[in-house]
Amino acid sequence: MRQLWGYLSVIVATIFFGISSPFNKILLENIHPLPLAALTYIIAGVFLFIIRFSPLKERILKLLDKKSESETHISQKDYGILITTALFGTVIAPFVFLSGLNNTTAVNASLLMNSETLFIIIIGFFILQERFVKKDVLGFIFLIIGTLFLTTNGQIEHFSVSSDIGNLLIIAAAFFWSVDTSLSKFLSNKRDLILISALKCLIGGLVLLLLSLMLDLSFKIPFYHLPYLFVIGILSIGASFVLVYFAIREIGSTRVGSLFSLASLFGAIFAFLILSEPFTITQMLFGLLMLFGVFILYKNNK
C-alpha cells in the first residue's frame, strides 16, 4: 500500500508540474525566463514555510510518515546535500537549459531532455545500487518512447545530431537535474519534508533572483497574470517537491525520475485544454503507452 501511495504521489506531482507548461507559456510573453523562475521558486518557498509554521504541518507530516521509518534529525551532511541539490536542480540546470535552448531547436531540446531518465537509471543502478527486475526495463522503454513522441509530436526526423553548443548544454542540464533527483534520495527519509522542500525552493529562488538583478532583467508581470504565477509556485513547484520527496522515499529515485516523464503527457493535455493547442490521436496513444509503462513498473514493484 505504501508503494501505491508512492506511485500516486509522483503522478499527482507530474499533473501539478504539467499544468505549469501552458501557464509558463502565457507568462513568458511578458517576462524573461530567469526572473520568472526566481519568482516561482520564491513563492513556493514562502508558501511551504507558511504551511510549516501553521497547524497543518503536523497533519501533513503524520500523513506522509504513516507506517514509515523516517528520521527526525537533519545533520550538517544533510544540509550539504540539500544545498548541492538546490544548486544543481534549481539554479544550474535551469540556467544551462535556457542557455542551450537559445542555441538549438525546441525539437532537439525536447528529445535531448529525455536523457535525464537515462542518467537517473544509470546513477540509481550503478551508484545508488537501487534494485529493479528485468521486466522494469520494458516499463522504462515505454516511458521513454512515449515521451519522445509526445514532446516532438512525432517529428523525430527533424532532430539534428550535430554536436553544437546548444545540444551539449541541454544534455548537461538533463544531467544536473538527474543528479538532483538521485541525491534527493538521501533527503527523502527525513520526517520534515516540508522544511527540506521549502529550503530548497528558497535557496534556488534567491540565487536566481540575484542573477536576474545582476543582469538587470525586468520583473514586471500584468496583474491579471498573477494567478498563473501563484499556481506554478504553489502547486507545480512547492507541492510537487514535497510529493516527489515522499515518492522517492517509497519507490526510489530511479522510478520517480522515470515516472516524472509523465509531465510531458499532462503538459500536452493542459496545453490543449487551456491554450487550445492540438492534441492528436497519436499523442493520446503514446500517452496511453506511457501509462502502461507506469503499470508495468508498479506491478513489478509490488
**DSSP one-letter code for 286:** H
pLDDT (0 to 100) of residue 258: 78
Of 149, 113, 121, the C-alpha closest to 287 is 149
pLDDT (0 to 100) of residue 162: 55
Distance CA 247, CA 193 (A): 11
- Residue 86 is which amino acid? A
Quote the pTM value. Answer: 0.84
Maximum pairwise Cα distance, the chain: 55
Residue 249 near residue 184 (C-beta atoms within 8 A): no
**DSSP one-letter code for 31:** S
Segments of the chain with pLDDT less than 50 = none
What's phi and psi for 26, nearest 5 deg? -65, -45
Q: What Å distances lie between residue 284 and 36, 55, 112, CA to CA? A: 30, 42, 22
Q: What Å distances lie between residue 92 and 71, 176, 216, CA to CA? A: 29, 7, 19
pLDDT (0 to 100) of residue 214: 95
**DSSP one-letter code for 125:** I
pLDDT (0 to 100) of residue 117: 76
pLDDT (0 to 100) of residue 67: 58
Q: What Å distances lie between residue 94 and 86, 151, 198, 235, CA to CA? A: 11, 18, 18, 18
Residue entry with cell 507545480: 236
Residue 135 near residue 76 (C-beta atoms within 8 A): no
Task: Name the 3-class secondary structure at 190.
Answer: strand
